[in-house]
């Protein structure tokens, strides 16, 4: 597995003004991960893959995977694609008490410390310490010093694990709502320089109080709000002029960059500007599963035009009925009348459908869709009609119209923006 020093090299190159960054694929979707490996393989670069505390934890999370299970899962995908695992960097995102926030703080933090220990033991080399959520007996919101104190406690637990290379850490919690805003967007306030300075100083002091000064030397990033966000149908794009003060403040802290969350749906120009302004770690998740869903829908339209009715997968209808019958992953996020809810389930940028791809009915329907179009490759006009962004690639490369390849290449259109913005071409050589 890739040495975590790669992350340090990216940080140093970015701080030296070379405009280099690294993007983080925050997804457990197999097609997204396959596409990301294919992109990194072609570019000859490392691939940073991250799992969140709700997604993967010692109790299984919503994927049913522990940290060790997730590593095995990534290794299995890599083996299938002949992707060298030494190019993979694994990260843990928002690691903290969030999955257990309904418990009292002492119990939740005990579980959180086990969580970070398990991530480090499994081979994750990038750890985001996030104790910002209030637990059952906590005030709301939590005071910053309590957040930092708990982060330091988790870091000490992580440091207790014997590994060949100690992990690098990300601190700070001032991020957009995970998965995008739930309501209409309003203008966002960029993190203040005062908050940045206090965050770094408080963590440094509390790490020292626990005798883990050496761990603070491996803090490579601070999570801040650069002024980017998305909701169901809108995006707030990065405006460099609003972050001038913030990007200048990072120079007070050697060997540290910003980590930008919710960069999904930013234009390539905005992503490049973020990297140039020392937001060297770009997190993306829903934007990739959105692209996957969009490609699946496109293939379903091709299927309707090409496959006999009694043989079709009807995958769009299967997804809709599954989400309606099992609303737990979207009902707290989507609001409005029946038509608004239907639109959001199918097309929202927050892409709550990403939680449903492992449901049996949807998996079976997707398999049927792929089988139908594999056994009966559609003609060029249907590719041109429903997947025009890939049509020229199909023609110029003389590729067979393979549904799996179309899914991968469609996701890679999005990944390519991040690779170019981060100058991730041949950086691993």
For the chain, what is the total number of helices (H) and then of strands (E)?
A: 16, 10
Rounded average pLDDT over 98-116: 98
Confidence band of 5 (pLDDT split at 50, 70, 90): confident
Per-residue model confidence (pLDDT) at position 398 = 59
Q: Domain 5-285+414-421 maps to which CATH number in 3.40.50.720, 3.30.470.20, 3.20.20.70, 3.40.50.10860?
A: 3.20.20.70
Per-residue model confidence (pLDDT) at position 188 = 81
Name the helix (H) or strand (E) containing 129. strand 126-129
Confidence band of 397 (pLDDT split at 50, 70, 90): confident
Which tokens is 233 given?
């149908």
Confidence band of 186 (pLDDT split at 50, 70, 90): low
pLDDT digits (tens, 9 = 90+) for 352-365: 999 999 999 999 99
Rounded average pLDDT over 384-393: 95
Q: Which residues pair with 281 in a beta bridge?
A: 22, 259
Exposure class string for 379-408: b at 16+ Cβ within 10 A, else e: eeebbeebbeebbebbeeeeeebebebbbb
Q: Residue 285 and residue 264: Cα distance in Å, rounded?
A: 7
Per-residue model confidence (pLDDT) at position 424 = 82
Rounded average pLDDT over 211-230: 97
Can you point out the beta strands (E) in 130-207?
168-171
Rounded average pLDDT over 65-82: 98
Confidence band of 429 (pLDDT split at 50, 70, 90): very low
Rounded average pLDDT over 127-137: 97
Q: Residue 180 and residue 347: Cα distance in Å, rounded?
A: 13
User: What does the radius of gyration of the chain's CA atoms come to, in whole angstroms?
Assistant: 22
Domains 5-285+414-421 and 289-413 share a fold: no
Per-residue model confidence (pLDDT) at position 175 = 56
Cβ atoms 271, 228 nearer than 8 A = no
The residue ranges of every structural domain in the chain are 5-285+414-421, 289-413
Rounded average pLDDT over 258-285: 98
Per-residue model confidence (pLDDT) at position 39 = 97
Residue among 360, 378, 380, 382 nearest 370 (CA): 378
In CATH, the architecture of 289-413 is Orthogonal Bundle (1.10)
pLDDT of residue 180 exceeding 80, the answer is no
Per-residue model confidence (pLDDT) at position 139 = 96
pLDDT of residue 390 exceeding 50, the answer is yes
Confidence band of 185 (pLDDT split at 50, 70, 90): low
Give the rounded percent of residues in the chain with a pLDDT score beyond 70. 94
Phi, psi of 3 (to 5 degrees): -65, 135
pLDDT of residue 89 exceeding 90, the answer is yes
Confidence (pTM): 0.95
pLDDT of residue 151 exceeding 60, the answer is yes
pLDDT of residue 282 exceeding 50, the answer is yes
pLDDT digits (tens, 9 = 90+) for 232-247: 999 999 999 999 999 9
Q: What is the mean pLDDT of the chain?
A: 94
Phi, psi of 197 (to 5 degrees): -60, -40
Per-residue model confidence (pLDDT) at position 4 = 66
Identify the weakest region by mean pLDDT among 96-110, 153-167, 168-182, 309-323. Answer: 168-182
């Amino acid at each position: 597995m890739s040495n975590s020093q790669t992350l340090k090299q990216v940080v140093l190159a970015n701080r030296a003004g070379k405009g280099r960054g690294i993007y983080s694929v925050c997804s457990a979707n197999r097609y997204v991960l396959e596409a990301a490996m294919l992109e990194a393989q072609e570019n000859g670069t490392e691939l940073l893959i991250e799992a969140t505390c709700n997604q993967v934890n010692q109790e299984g999370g919503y994927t049913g995977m522990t940290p060790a299970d997730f590593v095995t899962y990534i290794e299995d995908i890599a083996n299938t694609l002949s992707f060298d695992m030494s190019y993979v960097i694994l990260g843990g995102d928002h690691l903290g008490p969030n999955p257990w926030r309904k418990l009292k703080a002492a119990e939740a933090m005990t579980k959180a410390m086990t969580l970070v220990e398990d991530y480090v033991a499994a081979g994750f080399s990038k750890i985001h310490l996030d104790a910002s959520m209030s637990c059952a007996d906590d005030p709301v919101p939590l005071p910053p010093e309590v957040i930092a104190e708990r982060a330091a406690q988790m870091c000490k637990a992580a440091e207790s694990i014997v590994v060949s290379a100690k992990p690098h850490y990300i601190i700070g919690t001032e991020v957009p709502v995970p998965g995008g805003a739930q309501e209409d967007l309003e203008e966002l306030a960029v993190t203040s320089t005062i908050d940045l300075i206090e965050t770094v100083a408080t963590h440094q002091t509390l790490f020292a109080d626990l005798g883990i000064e050496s761990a603070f030397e491996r803090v490579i990033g601070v999570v801040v709000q650069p002024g980017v966000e998305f909701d169901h149908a809108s995006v707030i794009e990065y405006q460099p002029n609003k972050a001038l003060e913030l990007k200048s403040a990072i120079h007070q802290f050697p060997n540290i960059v910003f980590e930008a969350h919710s960069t999904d749906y930013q234009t390539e120009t905005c992503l490049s500007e973020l990297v140039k302004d020392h937001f060297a770690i770009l997190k993306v998740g829903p934007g990739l599963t959105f692209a996957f869903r969009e490609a699946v829908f496109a293939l379903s339209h091709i299927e309707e035009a090409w496959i006999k009715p009694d043989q079709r997968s009807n995958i769009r209808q299967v997804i809709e009925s599954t989400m309606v019958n099992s609303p737990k992953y979207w009902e707290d996020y989507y609001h409005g009348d029946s038509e608004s809810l239907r639109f959001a389930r199918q097309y929202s940028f927050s892409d709550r459908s990403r939680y449903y791809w492992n449901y049996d009915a949807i998996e079976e329907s997707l398999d049927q869709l792929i089988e139908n179009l594999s056994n009966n490759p559609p003609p060029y006009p249907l590719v041109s009609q429903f997947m025009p962004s890939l049509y020229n690639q199909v023609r110029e490369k003389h590729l067979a119209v393979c549904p799996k390849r179309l899914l991968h290449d469609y996701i890679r259109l999005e990944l390519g923006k991040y690779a170019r913005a981060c100058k991730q071409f041949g950086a691993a050589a």
